[in-house]
């Protein structure tokens, strides 16, 4: 299991890796706050680094053996394998879908996440497709982020330790 927080690490686009390390050192509960953020429906944890909009940190929780990521479940009071949310109705005719698939490269050095969203109209069918691919090199801790427009960005990640007070529920085998 590895916990990673990524940043473009540019001085004009906070936070930098150094700012993340400093914030984590100053607040021993920071990682826990981020992992539990929004799980109970409350507002997501945010930080202010002086930019126009607040920063909402995100931490990947990756199982390096199975190639899956985890999220916090209030119901289970533990980190659990990520599951796609149910489709959301948008008015009488439209439904919004999200789907995330993760895996490891064959050599188990790259974690790959493919996140898709789309809408479906009862009369017109599917439309408004979007795909984001994130690849994290688990050795160098660098992430390649590719949105629909293929305008790739690269981020450096910093590794965190799992807070002892947070339980992890691993997938059940059949």
Nearest to 34 by CA among 42, 46, 19, 50: 46
Task: Tell me whether residue 167 is in a domain.
Answer: no
In angstroms, rounded to a whole number, what is the distance separating the alpha carbons of residues 131 and 147?
6
* Cβ count near 67 (within 10 Å): 17
pLDDT of residue 44: 87
The alpha-helical segments, DSSP class H, found in the chain are 17-26, 30-36
pLDDT in tens, 43-99: 888 988 877 778 889 999 999 999 999 999 989 999 999 999 999 999 999 999 999
103 is a domain residue: yes
Stretch 154-163: mean pLDDT, rounded?
A: 94
Which DSSP state fits 49?
A: -
Evaluate whether residue 69 is within a structural domain. Answer: yes
Q: Span 139-145, mean pLDDT?
A: 95
Residue 171 lies in a domain: no
* Confidence check: pLDDT of 170 > 80: yes
Mean pLDDT value across residues 20-30: 93
Q: Flag whether 33 is in a domain.
A: yes
| ω into 15 cis (within 30 of 0) | yes
pLDDT of residue 13: 72
Residue 169 in any domain: the answer is no
pLDDT, average across residues 120-140: 95
Q: What pLDDT does 103 receive?
A: 96
Identify whether 156 is part of a domain. Answer: yes
Total of domains in the chain: 1
Structure token pair of residue 22:
């400093």
Q: Does 165 reside within a domain?
A: no
Residue-range definition of the domain harbouring residue 46: 2-160
pTM of the model: 0.87
């Amino acid at each position: 299991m590895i916990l990673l927080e990524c940043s473009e690490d540019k001085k004009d686009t906070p936070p930098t890796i150094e700012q993340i390390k400093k914030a984590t050192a100053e607040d021993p509960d920071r990682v826990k706050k981020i992992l539990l953020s929004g799980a109970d429906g409350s507002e997501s944890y945010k930080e202010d680094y002086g930019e126009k909009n607040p920063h909402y940190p995100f931490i990947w929780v990756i199982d390096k053996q199975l190639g899956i990521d985890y999220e916090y479940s209030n119901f289970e009071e533990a980190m659990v394998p990520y599951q796609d949310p149910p489709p959301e109705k948008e008015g009488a005719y439209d439904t919004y879908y999200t789907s995330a698939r993760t895996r490891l490269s064959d050599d188990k050095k790259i974690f790959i996440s493919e996140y898709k969203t789309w809408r479906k109209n009862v009369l017109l069918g599917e439309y408004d497709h979007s795909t984001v691919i994130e690849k994290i090199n688990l050795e160098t801790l660098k992430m390649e982020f590719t949105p629909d427009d293929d305008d790739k960005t690269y981020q450096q990640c910093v590794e965190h330790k799992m807070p002892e007070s947070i339980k992890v529920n691993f997938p059940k085998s059949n």
